[in-house]
Amino acid sequence: MTRRDAFPALMAAGVGALAAVCASPTSNGEPPAEPSAKAPRIEKRDLANPNWGYPKPKDPRRIPPTILMVVHIFGVKSTAAMPVGIGPDSGTHREYQSVARPAWTRNSAHDYIARNGEVIEVLDPATQTAWNNGKLDRPDRNIPTIDAIASQSGYNANEYCHREVECTGYPGSHPLTDEQLETVAWFVALDSLATKLEINRGTVTTHADFDSVNRPSCAFPPAERERKLGKIIDRAKAIRAEMLKPEK
Protein backbone atom coordinates (compact mmCIF):
# COMPACT_ATOMS: atom_id res chain seq x y z
CA MET A 1 0.00 0.00 0.00
CA THR A 2 1.10 3.53 -0.54
CA ARG A 3 1.77 5.90 2.29
CA ARG A 4 -1.47 7.76 1.69
CA ASP A 5 -3.85 4.84 1.83
CA ALA A 6 -2.13 2.65 4.42
CA PHE A 7 -2.29 4.88 7.41
CA PRO A 8 -5.88 6.17 7.31
CA ALA A 9 -7.06 2.54 7.28
CA LEU A 10 -4.93 1.81 10.30
CA MET A 11 -6.12 4.87 12.12
CA ALA A 12 -9.73 4.17 11.26
CA ALA A 13 -9.46 0.79 12.93
CA GLY A 14 -8.21 2.26 16.19
CA VAL A 15 -10.19 5.48 16.19
CA GLY A 16 -13.40 3.73 15.19
CA ALA A 17 -13.15 1.25 18.01
CA LEU A 18 -12.44 4.03 20.46
CA ALA A 19 -15.26 6.20 19.19
CA ALA A 20 -17.65 3.32 19.78
CA VAL A 21 -16.47 3.06 23.36
CA CYS A 22 -16.84 6.80 23.89
CA ALA A 23 -20.25 7.10 22.25
CA SER A 24 -22.07 4.10 23.73
CA PRO A 25 -24.77 5.21 26.18
CA THR A 26 -25.10 3.05 29.26
CA SER A 27 -28.03 0.62 29.45
CA ASN A 28 -29.92 2.79 31.93
CA GLY A 29 -29.66 5.86 29.70
CA GLU A 30 -27.07 7.63 31.81
CA PRO A 31 -24.29 9.40 29.91
CA PRO A 32 -21.30 7.11 29.43
CA ALA A 33 -18.51 7.23 31.97
CA GLU A 34 -15.45 9.24 31.02
CA PRO A 35 -13.56 7.16 28.47
CA SER A 36 -10.21 5.94 29.69
CA ALA A 37 -8.50 6.64 26.40
CA LYS A 38 -9.23 8.75 23.40
CA ALA A 39 -7.28 9.45 20.25
CA PRO A 40 -4.91 12.40 20.41
CA ARG A 41 -5.26 15.22 17.91
CA ILE A 42 -3.05 14.22 14.97
CA GLU A 43 -2.24 16.56 12.09
CA LYS A 44 -0.49 15.06 9.07
CA ARG A 45 2.12 17.19 7.34
CA ASP A 46 4.76 16.61 4.69
CA LEU A 47 8.54 16.75 4.76
CA ALA A 48 10.22 18.72 1.97
CA ASN A 49 13.24 16.41 2.16
CA PRO A 50 14.00 12.72 1.60
CA ASN A 51 15.25 12.01 5.12
CA TRP A 52 13.77 8.56 5.67
CA GLY A 53 14.14 5.04 4.26
CA TYR A 54 16.88 2.40 3.79
CA PRO A 55 19.15 1.50 2.17
CA LYS A 56 18.59 4.64 0.08
CA PRO A 57 16.55 7.67 1.12
CA LYS A 58 12.84 7.24 0.29
CA ASP A 59 13.12 3.45 -0.07
CA PRO A 60 10.03 1.80 1.45
CA ARG A 61 10.26 -0.35 4.57
CA ARG A 62 11.81 -3.72 3.60
CA ILE A 63 11.57 -5.84 6.78
CA PRO A 64 8.85 -6.28 9.40
CA PRO A 65 9.61 -4.43 12.64
CA THR A 66 10.41 -6.15 15.95
CA ILE A 67 10.06 -2.96 18.03
CA LEU A 68 6.84 -0.97 18.34
CA MET A 69 8.12 2.29 19.73
CA VAL A 70 11.28 4.33 20.25
CA VAL A 71 10.69 7.38 22.47
CA HIS A 72 12.92 10.45 22.05
CA ILE A 73 13.01 13.90 23.65
CA PHE A 74 13.69 16.70 21.13
CA GLY A 75 16.17 18.35 23.50
CA VAL A 76 16.14 21.99 22.41
CA LYS A 77 15.56 24.30 25.37
CA SER A 78 14.18 27.26 23.38
CA THR A 79 11.40 25.28 21.65
CA ALA A 80 10.62 23.34 24.84
CA ALA A 81 9.82 26.68 26.53
CA MET A 82 7.63 28.04 23.69
CA PRO A 83 3.81 27.93 23.71
CA VAL A 84 2.40 24.39 23.91
CA GLY A 85 0.52 22.63 21.10
CA ILE A 86 0.97 22.35 17.33
CA GLY A 87 -0.30 25.81 16.29
CA PRO A 88 1.82 28.37 14.44
CA ASP A 89 3.27 29.88 17.63
CA SER A 90 4.15 26.57 19.27
CA GLY A 91 7.54 25.04 19.95
CA THR A 92 6.53 21.78 18.29
CA HIS A 93 5.57 23.65 15.11
CA ARG A 94 8.99 25.36 15.20
CA GLU A 95 10.67 21.96 15.54
CA TYR A 96 8.64 20.66 12.59
CA GLN A 97 9.69 23.68 10.51
CA SER A 98 13.30 22.90 11.33
CA VAL A 99 13.29 19.19 10.40
CA ALA A 100 11.00 19.67 7.36
CA ARG A 101 13.35 22.04 5.54
CA PRO A 102 14.70 20.79 2.20
CA ALA A 103 18.22 21.46 3.51
CA TRP A 104 17.75 19.25 6.60
CA THR A 105 19.83 16.10 6.20
CA ARG A 106 19.95 14.71 9.71
CA ASN A 107 17.33 12.75 11.62
CA SER A 108 13.62 12.15 11.20
CA ALA A 109 10.85 10.78 13.39
CA HIS A 110 7.38 9.59 12.43
CA ASP A 111 5.72 11.93 14.90
CA TYR A 112 6.50 15.15 16.76
CA ILE A 113 4.51 15.20 20.00
CA ALA A 114 3.69 18.53 21.68
CA ARG A 115 3.73 18.94 25.44
CA ASN A 116 -0.08 18.79 25.51
CA GLY A 117 -0.08 15.44 23.66
CA GLU A 118 -1.04 16.78 20.21
CA VAL A 119 0.81 15.33 17.24
CA ILE A 120 2.39 16.45 13.98
CA GLU A 121 2.79 13.30 11.91
CA VAL A 122 5.22 13.33 8.97
CA LEU A 123 5.97 9.66 8.22
CA ASP A 124 3.71 6.59 7.92
CA PRO A 125 5.16 3.81 10.10
CA ALA A 126 3.54 1.12 7.93
CA THR A 127 5.73 1.96 4.96
CA GLN A 128 8.35 4.53 5.95
CA THR A 129 11.40 4.00 8.17
CA ALA A 130 12.61 6.99 10.20
CA TRP A 131 16.26 7.92 10.78
CA ASN A 132 16.15 8.93 14.41
CA ASN A 133 18.24 6.33 16.22
CA GLY A 134 21.62 7.15 14.80
CA LYS A 135 24.35 4.60 15.43
CA LEU A 136 24.35 1.86 18.03
CA ASP A 137 26.78 2.77 20.79
CA ARG A 138 26.98 0.44 23.79
CA PRO A 139 23.34 -0.63 23.32
CA ASP A 140 21.46 -2.40 26.12
CA ARG A 141 21.93 -6.02 25.08
CA ASN A 142 19.88 -7.25 28.05
CA ILE A 143 16.87 -6.31 25.94
CA PRO A 144 16.37 -9.23 23.52
CA THR A 145 15.16 -7.14 20.57
CA ILE A 146 18.12 -4.75 20.94
CA ASP A 147 20.53 -7.67 21.28
CA ALA A 148 19.16 -9.19 18.06
CA ILE A 149 19.69 -5.90 16.23
CA ALA A 150 23.22 -5.59 17.60
CA SER A 151 23.96 -9.16 16.46
CA GLN A 152 23.42 -8.48 12.77
CA SER A 153 24.82 -6.09 10.21
CA GLY A 154 22.48 -6.50 7.25
CA TYR A 155 20.01 -3.79 8.23
CA ASN A 156 20.09 -0.42 9.92
CA ALA A 157 18.76 -0.43 13.50
CA ASN A 158 15.99 2.00 12.53
CA GLU A 159 14.54 -0.59 10.17
CA TYR A 160 13.51 -2.77 13.10
CA CYS A 161 11.49 0.05 14.64
CA HIS A 162 7.86 0.57 13.68
CA ARG A 163 7.39 4.07 15.11
CA GLU A 164 9.85 6.63 16.44
CA VAL A 165 8.55 9.76 18.15
CA GLU A 166 10.16 13.04 19.17
CA CYS A 167 8.59 14.68 22.22
CA THR A 168 9.07 18.42 22.62
CA GLY A 169 11.06 18.86 25.82
CA TYR A 170 14.49 19.34 27.36
CA PRO A 171 16.20 16.99 29.84
CA GLY A 172 15.94 18.39 33.35
CA SER A 173 13.86 21.54 32.89
CA HIS A 174 11.15 20.15 30.57
CA PRO A 175 10.81 16.36 31.05
CA LEU A 176 8.11 14.49 29.13
CA THR A 177 4.60 15.41 30.34
CA ASP A 178 1.81 13.02 31.32
CA GLU A 179 -0.01 14.10 28.15
CA GLN A 180 2.98 13.08 26.02
CA LEU A 181 3.24 9.72 27.79
CA GLU A 182 -0.49 9.17 27.16
CA THR A 183 -0.10 9.85 23.43
CA VAL A 184 2.91 7.52 23.27
CA ALA A 185 0.88 4.79 25.02
CA TRP A 186 -2.02 5.32 22.61
CA PHE A 187 0.31 4.85 19.63
CA VAL A 188 1.79 1.70 21.20
CA ALA A 189 -1.71 0.24 21.66
CA LEU A 190 -2.78 1.12 18.13
CA ASP A 191 0.43 -0.20 16.57
CA SER A 192 0.31 -3.39 18.60
CA LEU A 193 -3.02 -4.21 16.95
CA ALA A 194 -1.68 -3.31 13.49
CA THR A 195 1.61 -5.21 13.73
CA LYS A 196 0.55 -8.07 16.08
CA LEU A 197 3.62 -7.30 18.22
CA GLU A 198 3.18 -7.74 21.98
CA ILE A 199 3.51 -4.78 24.34
CA ASN A 200 6.54 -5.30 26.61
CA ARG A 201 9.98 -3.88 27.41
CA GLY A 202 11.37 -5.53 24.29
CA THR A 203 8.96 -3.68 22.01
CA VAL A 204 8.66 -0.39 23.92
CA THR A 205 12.08 1.24 23.89
CA THR A 206 13.85 4.55 24.11
CA HIS A 207 16.89 6.11 22.42
CA ALA A 208 19.25 5.32 25.31
CA ASP A 209 18.61 1.60 24.73
CA PHE A 210 20.33 2.00 21.34
CA ASP A 211 23.00 4.54 22.36
CA SER A 212 23.84 4.69 26.06
CA VAL A 213 26.98 6.74 25.39
CA ASN A 214 25.77 9.82 23.51
CA ARG A 215 22.06 9.70 24.37
CA PRO A 216 21.89 8.46 27.99
CA SER A 217 19.01 10.84 28.85
CA CYS A 218 16.94 10.45 25.69
CA ALA A 219 14.09 10.32 26.41
CA PHE A 220 14.34 9.89 30.22
CA PRO A 221 17.03 10.37 32.87
CA PRO A 222 18.65 6.96 33.53
CA ALA A 223 17.23 6.81 37.07
CA GLU A 224 13.66 7.19 35.75
CA ARG A 225 13.91 5.26 32.51
CA GLU A 226 12.46 1.92 33.60
CA ARG A 227 9.66 3.48 35.68
CA LYS A 228 8.53 5.72 32.82
CA LEU A 229 8.69 2.97 30.21
CA GLY A 230 6.83 0.66 32.60
CA LYS A 231 4.12 3.30 32.93
CA ILE A 232 3.81 3.55 29.12
CA ILE A 233 3.64 -0.25 28.82
CA ASP A 234 0.92 -0.61 31.48
CA ARG A 235 -1.12 2.24 30.03
CA ALA A 236 -0.77 0.92 26.47
CA LYS A 237 -2.09 -2.48 27.54
CA ALA A 238 -5.11 -0.81 29.15
CA ILE A 239 -5.78 1.29 26.04
CA ARG A 240 -5.46 -1.76 23.81
CA ALA A 241 -8.04 -3.55 25.95
CA GLU A 242 -10.38 -0.57 25.44
CA MET A 243 -9.78 -0.68 21.69
CA LEU A 244 -10.65 -4.38 21.61
CA LYS A 245 -13.94 -4.03 23.52
CA PRO A 246 -16.80 -5.12 21.24
CA GLU A 247 -19.21 -2.44 20.08
CA LYS A 248 -22.51 -2.49 21.94
Judged by the rule CB under 5 A, the positions of this chain that interact with Zn ion are: 72, 207, 218
Buried b (16+ CB within 10 A) or exposed e, 165-175: bbbbbbbeebb
Q: Looking at beta carbons only, is 197 or 219 nearer to Zn ion?
A: 219
- What is the 3-state secondary structure of 192-225? HHHHCCCCCCCCEEEHHHHECCCCCCCCCCHHHH
Q: What is the DSSP string of 102-135?
A: TT--S---SEEE-TTS-EEE-S-TTT----TT--
**Phi-psi region for residue 196, left (φ > 0), alpha (ψ -120 to 50) or beta?**
left
> In whole angstroms, how close is the CB of 47 to Zn ion at the nearest point?
18
Smallest gap, in angstroms, from Cβ of residue 204 to Zn ion?
A: 15
Nearer to Zn ion, 7 or 170 (CB): 170
CB of 236 vs Zn ion, minimal distance in Å: 20
Residue placing its CB nearer to Zn ion in the complex, 218 or 236: 218
Q: Is the dihedral of CA 78, 225, 107, 88 positive or negative?
A: negative
**CB of 207 vs Zn ion, minimal distance in Å:** 3
Taking the least distance from each CB to Zn ion, the nearer of 54 and 131 is 131
14: helix, coil or strand? helix
CB 198 to Zn ion: min, Å? 24
Closer residue to Zn ion (CB): 90 or 206: 206
